[in-house]
Chain A
Amino acid sequence: MMKNFKNYIYILAATAFVVACKPNFNSNPAPSKGAADFTRYISVGNSLTAGYADGGLYLTGQLNSYPSIIASQMTSVNSSLTFSQPLFDAAQANGSGYQKLTGFDASGNPVITAVAAAAVRGSINLGPPIGTVPLFTKYTGAGLDNYGVPGIKLNDIDNPGYGNANPYMERMFTAASPTITTSYLDFVTAKSFTFFTNWLGNNDALGYATSGGAGDVLTDKTVFNTKYNTLITRLTATGAKGACATIPDVTTIPYFNTVTVGAILAAVQKANPTVQALVINKKATTTPTDNTYGPAAATASDLIVLTFPTSLIGTTSQANPYPYGLTPQNPIESKYVLDANEVAIVKDYVSSYNATIKSVAAAKGLAVFDAFTFLTNIKANGLLINGVSLNSNYISGGIFSLDGVHLTPRGYSIVANQFISAINSTYGSSIPLANVSAYNGVIFP
């Protein structure tokens, strides 16, 4: 029995040894920086870069910004990399305020509630045409690497006074509005850096689009080209490498595809079957400079904005006794509709902007994340990642946040991975991709 017992012990020992040996992937090639240098990474851009979500900039969104996800993945190839963002502190985590989903009404429509701002330190009247703007709590942290400024256009980057009017930029400065005299371009390039991502240009088209072509203007194509060249020349002046992104087709975002002409009409016809069409105030031509508008029957090609108050339909007022949106005498106002002609104009401009972005980036050998193609594909085909079926639908799609323009943490993680893939393929680096499953979509009550 003793001999047997000894053998038994050997088997037990062998078992313990092998059980302890879990399969591993140590043999895989180690992450490498390739031809790029990730000593200091900065991110240049607008609200998407800042981590803006749900109609506001708040701490949770900032912590899930795509540049912060990229930087965190970059630490695999540069363990000493730090990446500072202008975070709102925990006591003012709600930042500028944002929107929250608080339920669904009886017909299944989302009920969205505003969360009050927490980081407003006051306001300032800059006089016409800007007027009064809020002032947010200053960012006082030591470092600053994420230069995402909600609202900024490419057109604004060389304006030395811009920081006075944009509270998100103002809070990054020590100086207070209206004494800021440093342009965005000078600000982001003041401290040396070795790598950048740049996703500017969206607002040059989006501002026009989200206001239904009524509240903002498109940046001129030539101006866009000139300023993009200026921007990239400055960003690469000291040898930094980087990645740029194209501008998505604005018609792929849920802001323009959720409240549709068809859906409104169907609801109206339920109550009043004789109604044939909605009437909108439509731009007469696709000539940008032609500002002729007139009533026209709405079609599926006319895009209603997400924020359109549908309860207006059919209402009358003392000034206008005709039912709103149903008669040529009282059409849906232009600010609520990106009509088919305006869509054509925006698409044309975005196409021109993207041609500029791609050619300038190519001339400097920069990586390009083609957000235009990526989001167009998602709109057409959806996106299946790790067993999660994502698409461009409002709320249920999982990618876009409650404002229908900006992204959820999951959406931003997908964008981060697209940037990383573009960087890896251009510079031969192997920054590991982020785990999309670890980031959430819309938060449901």
Chain B
Amino acid sequence: MAIALFPALAMAQGFQVNLHGQKQVGMGNTGTGLVQDGASVLFNPGAVAMLPENYVQAGISPLFFNSAFQSTGSNQTFNSKTQVATPFTAYAVWGPKAAKWKIALGVYTPFGGLTDWGTDWVGKYSLESLNLKAINFQPTISYKLTDNISLGIGYVYGYGSVDLTKAIPLSSSSNPDGQAELKGSGHGNGWNAGIYVNASKKLSFGLSYRSEVDTKIDNGDATFTVPASLSTSFPSPNHFSAGIPLPSTTSFGVGYKPNDKWTTAFDFNYVHWSVYQSLDFTYEKTTATLQNTHSPRNYKDAYDFRVGAEYKACKEMALRFGGGYATTAVQDGYVTPEAPDANRVYGTLGLGYKVAKGLDLDLAFEYEHLMSRTQTNIETNLSGTFKTDVVIPGISLSYHW
């Protein structure tokens, strides 16, 4: 009785978290071609040496992910449960006032996903819940070649964890379904480099590259709850290994400051999702029923455009707004409930306030709308329409001196 178990761990654009600094979020998530604050550690390590001060800052963006699904031919709507994911950022930048160099450390969440559809929805055999976290630690050094050109490079240590549950179609008199839980963590290495150029007082450019972080999960815990008479088919506890290729991102950004009040920015990002061709799970103990799995994903590269602006209303306060459009990495037939991905548009608002000398409070708000997508998944035949909206307020504190 082979029961196909294909714990699908898709990461779409939807799993790429782009909340890396509240000033930048407020401006439509732009920041590659600007020097704003410590978030340059992520957006463009090349710009770090251009920061006029030293920075310590931290922020958090509680993310409300609301997804809904309706099967083809059905009138029953299933909503994902509201879960609050908490992407965060922390940056520290330091260098002697007169020096041409700066050193920095960034800790941030480049990928993540938190989805909970519950145990009694139509797609429970594809996925019930997923909690995916990736945290990067990035020590960085940046050097100013001239007053107008600077470079930077950082090493990335990536930590990743996953906790995925799904139903197994095996009923007992007490449980309508068996349950599988895959829980594990791993790490990978990468780097982040960039170059920043002041073309004039008003115009600046940035180009950065964040490498792929191929995160390996070894010895994760695989727990199966099945009817007692089938327990030998699902050895439990069991262990699994899997690889998650978190793709590289190439960013190009432009900053333009027409006058003292206004700052505008444009970013383009290219995400090399095509590295994600398949998801393979290898179990420590396999049986005729529990086999290693190979699930084709066939992602394609994705890109996004972002624009944003900041208006300095007075010395203490800045107002920001922006928006963007991102394409999906998931091709037709491969959309899964983990992150029911689709092309998306988003808009952002932001507010910066100078609380005291050297202390900035930044607030941002982002609303993302994913295009409704009607799909039949090739692997599961789960057929229906996904609709998703994401709401993300955020707050950060920065101290600079």
**Chain A residues near B (Cβ < 8 Å):** 1, 3-4, 7-8, 11-12, 14-15, 18-19, 21-25, 28, 31, 76, 101, 103-104, 384-389, 393, 395-396, 398, 417, 420-421, 432-438, 440-445
Contacts and interface: CB of A to CB of B under 8 A. Distances in A.
Contacts of B70: 25, 28
Contacts of A14: 365
A4 B169 contact: no
A19 B64 contact: yes
A445 B227 contact: yes
A4 B353 contact: yes
A24 B229 contact: no
B365 A11 contact: yes
B120 A438 contact: yes
Contact of A421 (B73, B173, B377): B73
Given A14-B365, A444-B229, A445-B229, A386 B170 contact: no
B67 to A, nearest CB: 7
Contacts of A22: 66, 68, 79, 389
B171 A443 contact: yes
Contacts of A437: 121-125
A19 to B, nearest CB: 5
B75 A76 contact: yes
25 contacts: A1-B353, A4-B351, A11-B393, A18-B391, A19-B82, A21-B389, A22-B79, A23-B68, A23-B388, A25-B77, A25-B385, A28-B70, A103-B229, A386-B123, A393-B1, A398-B169, A432-B75, A434-B74, A435-B122, A437-B122, A440-B171, A440-B176, A441-B170, A443-B172, A444-B226
A8 B124 contact: no
B351 A31 contact: no
A417 B177 CA distance: 21
A396 B74 CA distance: 27
A384 B317 contact: no
Contact of B382 (A19, A387, A417): A387
B241 interface: no
A445 B316 CA distance: 69
A389 B289 CA distance: 13
A367 to B, nearest CB: 15
B98 interface: no
A388 B73 contact: no
Query: Which range contains the number of B residues in contact with the other chain?
Result: 35 or more
A409 to B, nearest CB: 9
A319 B176 CA distance: 51
B68 A24 contact: yes
Contacts of B393: 11-12, 15
A252 B367 CA distance: 53
Contact of B68 (A7, A25, A396, A442): A25
A18 B75 contact: no
A149 B66 CA distance: 47
Interface of B: 1-4, 64, 66-68, 70-77, 79, 82, 120-126, 169-173, 176-177, 226-230, 316-317, 349, 351, 353, 355, 361, 363, 365, 367, 377, 379-382, 385, 387-389, 391, 393
Contacts of A388: 125, 169
Contacts of B316: 4
Given A443-B171, A445-B172, A395 B1 contact: yes
B169 A441 contact: yes
A23 B123 contact: no
B171 A444 contact: yes
A263 to B, nearest CB: 16
Contacts of B72: 433
A253 B173 CA distance: 25
A386 B384 CA distance: 10
Nearest to A12: B393
Contacts of B351: 4, 7-8, 11
Looking at B66, B79, B120, which has the most chain A CB atoms within 10 Å of its CB?
B66
A387 B380 contact: yes
Contact of B71 (A4, A421, A435, A443): A435
Given A23-B67, A23-B388, 8 more contacts: A4-B316, A15-B391, A22-B68, A23-B387, A24-B68, A384-B381, A393-B1, A441-B169
B117 to A, nearest CB: 11
Contacts of B120: 438
A423 to B, nearest CB: 12
A271 B334 CA distance: 50
Q: Which 4 A-B pairs have the closest CB atoms?
A: A396-B1, A387-B125, A444-B227, A23-B387
Given A4-B351, A22-B79, A444-B229, A384 B67 contact: no
B171 A19 contact: no
A335 B191 CA distance: 74
A435 B349 CA distance: 41
B363 A11 contact: yes
A443 B174 CA distance: 9
A442 B229 contact: no
Contacts of B126: 386-387
Given A28-B75, A386-B381, A444 B230 contact: yes
A103 to B, nearest CB: 5
Contacts of A103: 229
Nearest to B82: A19
A445 B365 contact: no
A444 B172 contact: yes
Nearest to A397: B1
Contacts of B3: 389, 396
Contacts of A76: 75
B171 A441 contact: yes
A59 to B, nearest CB: 14
Nearest to B126: A387
A23 B373 CA distance: 12
A166 B349 CA distance: 74
Most chain B C-beta atoms within 10 Å of own C-beta, residue among A393, A434, A440, A441: A440
Most chain B CB within a 10 A radius of its CB, from A14, A386, A389, A396: A386
Contacts of B367: 18
A435 B70 CA distance: 10
Contact of B66 (A3, A23, A25, A433): A23
A7 B171 CA distance: 53
A104 to B, nearest CB: 6
Which of B66, B72, B75, B173 is most buried by chain A, counting CB atoms within 10 A of its CB?
Answer: B75
A22 B379 CA distance: 28
Nearest to B372: A23
